[in-house]
C-alpha cells in the first residue's frame, strides 16, 4: 500500500477523468471479480489515545453483459462487520462515502472518499484477464486521513499497511440465485 498527498491523489483523479475512461473490456463482461486484503492500522481516537486495529476488506463486483457494475463490499474488525450492495451508478457507499468504480485499460479502479483523504484500489489483470492482483493507494488531505469506523465513530488513521491480498475472476454472476 502506498500513501500519497491528497493533492497528488486529486491530480491523479483529474488526469484519469480527463483521459478516456474506457467501458468494461469485453473479457470481463458477465464475470465476477473478487478481491480481499487485510489492513493493519494505527488509529487515534477522539480522546487522543492511539491503538492498532486489523480490518479485513472484501469486494465482489459483477460486470454485466452490458458492462454495468454491481458491487458487494464488507469490512470486518473486532468481531463486527459492515457492508452493503451498490448498484449501477451509485455515487456513495452505505456509510455515505463518495465512491466510483470504472475501468482504465486492463485495470479496474475503485475510489473511496473518506471524511478526509481517499483510497484508490487498483485491480490489475493479466493480458488474458484470467488472473488479477490488487493494490491500494491512500491519499491524505492536508496530511490527515479520517474515516468513519464500523462503530460509526470517525478516527484519524495515523498509519496503515496492506497484507494478504487475493484476487480472482470467474465466469457468471455471483449474485444470481
Domain locations along the chain: 2-168
Dist. CA 141–CA 39, nearest whole Å: 20
pLDDT at 105: 92
The reported pLDDT for the residue numbered 112 is: 87
Q: Residues 55-114: pLDDT tens digits?
A: 999 999 999 999 999 999 999 998 998 887 776 666 666 666 778 889 999 999 998 888
Mean pLDDT of 11-32: 67
Contact 97, 121 (CB under 8 A): no
Q: Label residue 17 by pLDDT band (50, 70, 90).
A: very low
Beta carbons of 71 and 85 less than 8 angstroms apart: yes
Long-range contacts of residues 43-48, Cβ cutoff 8 Å, at least 24 apart: 43/149, 43/155, 43/156, 43/157, 43/158, 44/155, 44/156, 44/158, 45/153, 45/155, 46/153, 46/155
* pTM assigned to the model: 0.82
Q: What is the mean pLDDT of the chain?
A: 85
Instruction: Give residue 8's pLDDT.
Output: 43
Would you state the pLDDT for residue 122?
Answer: 96
- pLDDT of 23 over the 50 cut: yes
Query: What pLDDT sits at residue 126?
Result: 96
Residue 128 has pLDDT above 70, yes or no: yes
Q: What is the mean pLDDT of residues 120-135?
A: 96
Contact 145, 1 (CB under 8 A): no
Write out pLDDT tens, residues 42-58.
999 989 999 999 999 99
pLDDT of residue 10: 44
Amino acid at each position: 500500500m502506498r500513501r500519497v498527498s491528497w493533492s497528488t491523489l486529486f491530480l491523479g483523479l483529474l488526469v484519469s477523468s480527463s483521459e478516456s475512461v474506457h467501458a468494461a473490456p469485453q473479457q470481463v463482461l458477465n464475470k465476477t471479480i473478487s478481491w480481499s486484503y487485510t489492513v493493519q492500522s494505527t488509529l487515534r481516537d477522539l480522546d487522543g489515545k492511539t491503538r492498532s486495529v486489523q480490518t479485513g476488506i472484501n469486494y465482489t463486483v459483477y460486470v454485466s453483459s452490458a458492462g454495468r457494475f454491481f458491487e458487494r463490499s464488507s469490512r470486518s474488525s473486532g468481531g463486527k462487520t459492515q457492508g452493503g450492495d451498490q448498484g449501477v451508478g451509485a455515487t456513495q457507499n452505505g456509510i455515505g462515502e463518495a465512491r466510483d468504480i470504472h475501468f482504465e485499460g486492463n485495470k479496474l479502479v475503485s475510489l473511496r472518499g473518506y471524511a478526509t483523504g481517499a483510497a484508490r484500489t487498483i485491480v490489475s489483470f493479466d493480458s488474458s484477464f484470467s488472473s488479477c492482483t490488487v493494490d491500494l493507494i491512500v491519499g491524505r488531505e492536508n496530511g490527515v486521513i479520517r474515516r468513519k469506523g464500523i462503530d460509526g465513530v470517525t478516527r484519524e488513521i495515523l498509519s496503515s499497511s496492506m497484507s494478504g491480498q487475493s484476487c480472482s475472476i470467474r465466469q457468471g454472476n455471483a449474485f444470481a440465485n
